[in-house]
Amino acid sequence: MQIKNKIFIGALAVVVAALLWSLDGIFLRPHLASVSPVLVVFLEHSLGFIILFPFLFIYKTELKKITKKQWGTIFWVALFGGALGTTFFTKALFLTGFVDVSVVVLLQKFQPIFAILLSAIILRERFPLKFYVYASCALIGGYFVTFKDPSSINFGSATAMMALFSLLAAFSWGSSTTFGKYSLKNINYGLLTALRFGFTMIIMFIPALRYFSTLPSIESSVWTTLLIIVFTSGAVAMYLYYYGLKKIPASLATLCELAWPVSAIIFDYFFNHNVLSNTQIVGAVVLIVAVTLATRLNKTTIISGVVLPGNNNGEKTGARTANLDIALAKDLAKGLYSCKVDLDDASYRGLLYYGFNSITKKDCLEIHVLEFDGNLYGKNITAVTERYLRFPKKFKSVEKLSEQIKRDLAQSFNE
């Protein structure tokens, strides 16, 4: 129950952040059209960093825990999620003249597609063939969302450029989600938010420098809007997003983010009277459904039950496992997963395997709890799946199985 509440709270935080992003595109960012997108991004993140700066002192001890690899991922998050993603998104909105705002937002639903593809390449996650079918359908849906009249297209038009910048923003933010989840492994979400805004401010300083001469001419209403963004869709929304992402898998976060395009379409219709064409509506439905189905292929599953007596086969392979009733995995795709394990009021990392057991010659459901060496029999154990690592395999010998388990453990420890 504790894990379920944690996931609910995390999902709610991401949904609230998504709603704030909708308000940004519909109500706030249009007031910044008189300022260069590059300068907007620099000022937005500079003001946000001032608000978030105290987190650097509050969590200064955690700064020492950040590894070189994590510093690299945090820089990636700042470069793509902060600097490039926000610049591309702002540029796309400006190109629409704030008439087709919902189109720009809808195209952001390619973020999970990009995030999943990057996970497959960089984090070595595996996905069934269906994912690529859904991704293709999403591309078709995105095409029809972009153009009101898909039969008459000028690829050099502002609409086509808007679509290009929107997709670049989707890629940037999608990759940021993948690396942001890794960055949160052992640091506070507030600290990550502060570091992201700080790095983005530094990255954008040189590009924005050429526009500093226009600062005195910026109207007071623009500064007011920037401050509102900082306390809503900017620093505050990003803080909420990382708070939620700390508690839930990235795949669930992408589903929660559907609150963004849905609310943006509704706001755009009722407040700006912008209406999608029939083909755009069909494309939007195809896009959202395809992305949702693709994301659900890697959905989070909670397995909870009592550890059953086994045959001590784990001793033969060098990895003791907790055996569970196979009926608990009825909704789980067969294979090996990394997972979080709740046991004796403590949390551990683990590996969960559901599939054919080469020793018993039948299907099994078992969990190897990393860094735990006590007795598991009869204990209640809860596992929350995270990443799908590989498909089930059959092995001709215990030695071959043991070698594979060593590779699985190495991959889990080094992720």
Rounded CA-CA distance 260/326 in Å is 38
Contact 413, 406 (CB under 8 A): no
Contact 111, 173 (CB under 8 A): yes
Angle CA 37–43–48, to nearest 5: 125
107-158 tens-digit pLDDT: 777 777 777 777 666 655 556 567 778 878 887 887 777 666 666 655 557 7
Q: Where are the domains positioned within the chain? A: 2-296, 302-413
32-50 tens-digit pLDDT: 988 999 999 999 999 999 9
Q: Which amino acid is at 209?
A: L
Round the CA-based radius of gyration of the chain to a whole number and report it: 23
The mean pLDDT of 167-175, rounded to a whole number, is 85
CB atoms within 10 A of CB 395: 17
- CA dist 107 to 145, 164, 260, 289, Å? 8, 10, 11, 13
**153: which residues sit within 8 A by CB, 6+ positions away?**
147, 160
**DSSP per residue, 221-289:** HHHHHHHHHHHTTTHHHHHHHHHHHHHS-HHHHHHHTTHHHHHHHHHHHHHH-----HHHHHHHHHHHH
pTM comes to 0.65
**139: which residues sit within 8 A by CB, 6+ positions away?**
none
275-323 tens-digit pLDDT: 777 887 888 888 888 877 776 666 678 888 998 876 665 565 666 788 8
316 is written with which tokens? Answer: 């033969």
Q: What is the CATH number of domain 302-413?
A: 2.40.30.30
Identify the burial level of 378 via C-beta atoms within 10 angstroms of its C-beta, where 0-12 means exposed, 13-18 middle and 19 or more buried: exposed
Identify the burial level of 260 via C-beta atoms within 10 angstroms of its C-beta, where 0-12 means exposed, 13-18 middle and 19 or more buried: buried
Q: What SS3 state is found at 393?
A: coil
Instruction: Pick the more confident residue, 276 or 239.
Output: 239
pLDDT band of residue 244 (cuts 50, 70, 90) is: confident
